[in-house]
Amino acid sequence: MSAQVEEDRVKQWESEQERLKRLLLEEDTDDWQRSPDFSGLERVGGVDLSFIKGDDMNACAQLVVLSYPDLKKVLYGDSQMVTLTAPYVAGFLAFRETPFLLQALQRLQESQPELTPQVVFVDGNGLFHYREFGLACHLGVLSGLPCVGVAKNLLQVQGVHKNEEHQSRIAALHKGGDSFPLTAASGKVLGKALRSCDKSSKPVYVSVGHKISLDTAVRLTQACCLFRVPEPIRQAAADQDDEQRVEDLKKNLFVYRIFFNHI
């Protein structure tokens, strides 16, 4: 691909981001979001695009819808192998991944609309982005659904850096629910670093996707975390989180011990 073609593509993408950004809503739009215990929320979704190791073009696009508040019943699942056509360009991940995640949501809305999630967790950033319009925002605006961006790694943008001060603030997150704001050089809060549960000292980075406020997004993220990553995303991912692998091994070991003690 020539440099001119690449430059033209980026300009087109920037223009499209700006257009969609004007449709973004950063406040709570549903009654359940304003409820202290999220009364009325029954279905939470998670989406993820998992790549095959060593292959950056073929991936598995996955959507899971879980029951809330128990997070135990899988109400719907969709998994499709896809071939990506757009190149990876920093800050424009949405143009590479959104089409396939959006198609998964559209398949659900066409086949079983009653199971459409009331909120979607996205494995990626929302407002916490180079131009304040990441993957979660892109998917939210195009789908019309409330979306929350949850990233496992810090995106160092707009004056937010993974420096000593940031590390010390992470160390001060003593329990699940503790958080601190991710403030841009402009003074705008773009998201929050959240210790999502007591079991994990590593934070996740939560930001608004669409049709939800930051405080509600953070509160809901914690409510949906049995482990470090929100359960809808964890179950949508092809590979389990390391912490969950450990928990599964512990459970298996416990079962084996009981079995062998009775033979």
Tens digit of each residue's pLDDT (9 = 90 or more) over 138-153? 999 999 999 999 999 9
Asked whether residue 157 carries a pLDDT value surpassing 70, the answer given is yes
Query: How does DSSP classify residue 198?
Result: T
Q: What is the rounded CA–CA span in Å between residue 156 and residue 3?
A: 26
Q: What is the rounded CA–CA span in Å between residue 98 and residue 116?
A: 17
Q: Which neighbouring-strand residues pair with 121?
A: 46, 148
pLDDT in tens, 106-124: 999 999 999 999 999 999 9
CATH 3.30.2170.10 fits 3-262, yes or no: yes
Q: What is the rounded CA–CA span in Å between residue 192 and residue 6?
A: 33
Q: What pLDDT does residue 225 have?
A: 97
pLDDT in tens, 21-42: 999 999 999 999 999 999 999 9
Please give, one letter per residue, the 3-state secondary structure of 152-169.
Answer: CCCCCCCCCCCCHHHHHH
Beta strands in the chain (DSSP E): 43-51, 58-67, 74-83, 119-123, 147-151, 179-183, 189-194, 204-210
Q: What pLDDT does residue 217 have?
A: 98
Residue 137's nearest CA partner among 151, 152, 122 is 122
Measured in Å, how far apart are the chain's first and last C-alpha atoms? 66
Q: What pLDDT does residue 238 have?
A: 52
Distances (CA, A) of 55 to 48, 50, 189, 205: 16, 11, 36, 26
Q: What predicted TM-score, i.e. pTM, was given to this entire model?
A: 0.88
- What is the residue-averaged pLDDT of the chain? 90
Q: What pLDDT does residue 22 have?
A: 98
Percent of the chain scored above 90 by pLDDT? 83
* Structure confidence at residue 53 as a pLDDT band (50, 70, 90): confident
Structure tokens at 110: 């066409």
